[in-house]
Amino acid sequence: MSFRVGELDKLIAIQRETLTPDGRGGQTVSLTNVVTDLFAHVRPRSGREGERYDRINAEAAYLFVIRYRDDLKESDRILWDGVQYNIQAILTRGGRSMYLEIDATRGVAQ
């Protein structure tokens, strides 16, 4: 799949979980920004809704396309328009690809 730079028109942030001491011998998990104001192309892929344990659960899958960078991990999260997306896979299209395709989901998946 090829993209043009002009299609990267949404601003996202990449966040990573970090452990910080809580002062009582334990640790707390917090999110820190790896990068902010990163331009991306965003496209919805699929969505579903179901009921489990008398509760409605909804999930949506999205494709995020960004300029190539080598500091991202599948354990990172994307923040777009105040909503967090869990990264499922980071895909490159060949050794000299200019872009990364990131599959991510939002919502509850049970």
* Total count of domains within the chain: 1
Residue 4: half-sphere exposure toward Cβ, Cα within 13 Å: 2
pLDDT in tens, 67-99: 999 899 999 999 999 999 999 999 987 777 888
pTM of the model: 0.81
Coil, strand or helix at 6: helix
For 83, the domain range is: 5-107
- Find the CATH number of the domain harbouring 50: 2.40.10.370
Q: What pLDDT does residue 35 have?
A: 94
Tell whether the model's pLDDT for residue 2 goes beyond 70: no
Give the confidence band of 110 by pLDDT, cuts at 50, 70, 90: very low
Residue with tokens 């967090």: 84
